[in-house]
Chains A and B, each alone.
Chain A
Amino acid sequence: MKTSRLWAWIVFALGALYFIIPLLATFEFSLRIRRDGYTFDAYASVFSDPKFHQTFGYSIVVGICTIVVGILVIVPAAYYVRLKMPALRPIIEFISLLPLIIPAIILVYGYIRLYSSSSWLPLTNSAMGTNILLTLGYVALAMPYMYRAVDTGLRTIDVQTLTEAASILGASQTTIILRVILPNIVVAVLSGAFLTLAIVIGEFTIASLLNRPAFGPYMQNIGANRAYEPAALAVISFLITWAAMGAIQLLARFAPKTAKP
């Protein structure tokens, strides 16, 4: 069976080439800003741009708000569906997957038509209202990933026994969720959170159509006006995505398991 192993190596190598060449090319391109040789000046130019700091900071803040709102919306729902209403499970799961089917541009178009100045809930009237709308849009985008992460976390712990034990000790429902369930699934929730952050930081469509000063529209603007800085931004984004995914892998090692095998 030596041939099959050789075949596997060839397929793997071809795939690796397709994925590695663009990364190398992007890095090489980002160093080409001077004619007389490779320099990191494009990175210096990116990092010294105050707009880079503003938009990046803005996207991080929106990302953190998205994670908090996402946890508040998703964790109780996933917990009660698992504990009390398993019949609702397929419906809730289907809803949580809807954002994979409804494109972001459709969602934001709906938001603009539904929550504009003349509607019953005029969110787009003020900057704060639009920020809230952007955050809620990101919660929708992150929902398939966040729900799955939370549900996977709940599956590895014994929800039933933990809940019964806590309520026998006199804990209220809120206490059970906040101080018993959440700490037990914190690793799963965090991995969902990092994925959310990776999705939200460079998001373009919703931020751009809601006219928010986010990192995605900033990158698009740089791409339209500069030659070498975009490549530097791509390298930076790739490293951020890599860091977020690396954090998830690292977290997976600390996941608690109380479920019976």
Chain B
Amino acid sequence: MAEANTLSDKALGPALAGPATASSGGPFAFLKSIEIGAVLGIAPFVIFAVMFLLLPTMFLIGAAFVGPDGSFTFQNILDLGTPQIVASFWISIRVSVASAVLGVLVGLFIALAVIRGRLPSSVRSAAFTFSGVASQFAGIPLAFAFLSTLGRLGLLTVLLKFVGIDIYRAGFNLLSFWGLTLTYLYFQIPLMILIIAPAIDGLKREWGEAASTLGASNWQFWRYVGLPVLWPNLLGTLSLLFANAFGAIATAYALTGSSLNIVPILLYAQIRGDVLHNPGLGAALALGMIVITALANIIYLVVRARAERWLK
């Protein structure tokens, strides 16, 4: 295993490699260790990443500061303050936060139940296989599935009406904040289960035994041992699920058309037909999306760094 080799090399470092000074031949010695083959091998990846990931994103960020006449301006950013755009950012953030938080909580409970609840191993492997499928079952077909379930003619709607509960009269609407959140949970929860399962597996049974030997209650075990260990993973998954929901468009588009104006749908309409009548404003909208997903990840990185500091 390459990793083990480098680790053991590090551990044995001075003994094997001799005095570090002996091999260093000037400031550019490290260049000798880089081979031309390795550079050629990594080159396609780097070129691809620059041309089809970094450059397009940078270009949009730059375009957000260009006015219709081609000069530098902050006007596009200021124009994001119009009520329509603010409203679409607000609904997008609400749906993303709600589906990420609920996805993390529900996913955590299901994963705990399946892994630590001593359910039969067949149930366990079925749950993980299904999670793998459901986490990828997103986009257009997911919208169709929920329309068939909770749409006005959906099976669940009809069945509930049959037993006397008219969810639409009670104010439910699939094409709304809660409808969209409920739909997004169908891929958010399985994603959480898949990501958190290895971390829960890492909670050793001995820790629980040690805690209960010392007289800790179940609650105390989770408060002082379980949750602190899982904490960085929970936060990381939270930001990943947030970004996952925030950038999603296909499900919402097939579900609601453009009746629920989340940011990606507004941006989609802008790319298609310049509905905002200003290409610069479209770029500013994209910049807003990038800033928000980046912020979510920076918050995660900062909190994780702090969590890791005291976990050591």
Q: A85-B34, A245-B136 are in contact. Are A111 and B52 (CB under 8 A)?
A: yes
Shortest Cβ gap from A74 to chain B (Å): 7
Number of residues in B with C-beta < 8 Å to the partner? 89
B176 within 8 Å of A (CB atoms): no
B45 near A15 (CB under 8 angstroms)? no
Q: Is A127 an interface residue (CB 8 A)?
A: no
- Judged by a CB distance under 8 angstroms, whether B143 is at the interface is yes
Interchain CA distance A260-B253 in the complex, whole Å: 50
B72 at the interface (CB under 8 A from A): no
Contact with A along B288-302 (1 / 0, CB 8 A): 011001100100000
- How many whole Å from B199's CB to the nearest CB in chain A? 16
* In the complex, per-residue mask of A197-234: 1 if CB is within 8 Å of any chain B CB, else 0: 01100111100010000001001100110000011011
A-B contact count (CB 8 A): 270
A159 to B143, CA, bound (A): 44
- By a CB distance below 8 angstroms, the chain A residues around B244 are 100
Instruction: State whether the Cβ of B140 lies closer than 8 Å to any Cβ in chain A.
Output: yes
> Does B312 belong to the interface (CB within 8 Å)?
no
Question: Does B63 lie at the interface of the complex (its beta carbon under 8 Å from any beta carbon of A)?
Answer: yes
Tell me the A234-261 residues at the B interface (CB within 8 Å): 234, 237-238, 241-242, 244-246, 248-249, 259-260
A1-54 contacts to B (CB < 8 Å): 4-5, 7-9, 11-12, 15, 18-19, 21-26, 28-30
Task: Select which of B42, B123, B248 is within 8 A of A85 by beta carbon.
Answer: B42
Q: Pick the residue among A11, A30, A219 that contacts B117 (CB under 8 A).
A: A11
Q: Please judge, given known A-B contacts A109-B286, A237-B137, whether A22 and B117 are in contact too, CB under 8 Å.
A: no
Q: Check A23 against B145 for contact (C-beta < 8 Å).
A: yes
Contacts of A168 in B (CB 8 A): none
A82 to B45, CA, bound (A): 14
Chain B residues within CB distance 8 Å of chain A: 1-6, 33-35, 37-38, 41-42, 44-46, 48-49, 52-57, 59-60, 63, 106, 109-110, 112-114, 116-119, 123, 127, 129-130, 132-134, 136-137, 139-149, 153-156, 185-186, 189-190, 240, 243-244, 246-250, 253-254, 257, 264, 267-268, 271-272, 282-283, 286, 289-290, 293-294, 297
Q: List 11 A-B contacts (CB under 8 A).
A: A15-B189, A25-B149, A95-B53, A105-B271, A114-B56, A204-B139, A219-B144, A231-B145, A233-B141, A237-B140, A260-B1
Across the interface, which residues of B come within 8 angstroms of A9, CB to CB?
113, 117, 119
Using Cβ atoms and an 8 Å threshold, which residues of chain A touch B243? 100-101, 103
Q: Chain A residue with minimal CB distance to B56?
A: A110
Q: How far does the alpha carbon of A136 sit from the alpha carbon of B52 in the complex, in Å?
A: 7
Interchain CB contact under 8 A, A11 and B52: no
Q: Is the CB of A245 within 8 A of B53?
A: no
From known contacts A25-B154, A233-B141, infer whether A137 and B52 are also in contact, taking CB-CB under 8 Å: yes
Binding site for B on A (CB under 8 A): 4-5, 7-9, 11-12, 15, 18-19, 21-26, 28-30, 72-74, 76-77, 79-86, 88, 92, 95, 98-114, 136-137, 139-140, 154-155, 158-160, 173, 177, 195, 198-199, 202-205, 209, 216, 219-220, 223-224, 230-231, 233-234, 237-238, 241-242, 244-246, 248-249, 259-260
Pick the contact of A245 from B116, B133, B144 — CB < 8 Å? B133
Docked complex Cα distance between A237 and B113 (Å):
29
Which residue of chain B is the closest to A77 with respect to CB atoms?
B45
Question: A19-B134, A260-B4 given as contacts; is B52 within 8 A of A140 (CB)?
Answer: yes
Chain B residue contacts of A231, Cβ below 8 A: 144-145, 147-148
Majority SS at the chain A contact face: helix
Chain B contacts for A233, CB-based, 8 A = 140-141, 144
- With A4-B117, A8-B118, A105-B249 as contacts: A111 and B56 at CB distance below 8 Å: yes
Say whether B294 contacts A101, CB under 8 Å.
Answer: yes
Counting chain B CB atoms within 10 Å of each CB, the highest count among A15, A92, A100 belongs to A15
In the complex, what distance in Å separates the CA atom of A137 from the CA atom of B159?
43
Chain A residues closer than 8 Å to B46, beta-carbon distance: 77
Tell me the complex Cα distance, A202–B34, Å.
42
A177 to B133 alpha-carbon distance, docked (Å) = 31
Are A204 and B250 within 8 A (Cβ)? yes
For B141, the chain A residues whose CB sits under 8 A away are 202, 219, 233-234, 237-238
- Min C-beta distance of A35 to chain B, whole Å: 13
- Chain B residues near A23 (CB, 8 Å)? 145
Q: How far is the CA of A47 from the CA of B161 in the complex (A)?
A: 33
Q: How far is the CB of B293 from chain A (nearest CB, A)?
A: 5
**A107 adjacent to B246 (CB under 8 Å):** no
Q: Are A249's CB and B129's CB within 8 A?
A: yes
B250, closest chain A residue (CB): A204
Instruction: Give the complex CA separation of A79 and B42 in angstroms.
Output: 9
A8 with B117: CB separation less than 8 A: yes
Q: Are A25 and B145 in contact (CB under 8 A)?
A: yes
Chain B residues positioned under 8 Å from A25 (CB to CB): 145, 148-149, 154-156
Bound complex: CA of A155 vs CA of B6, how far in Å?
13
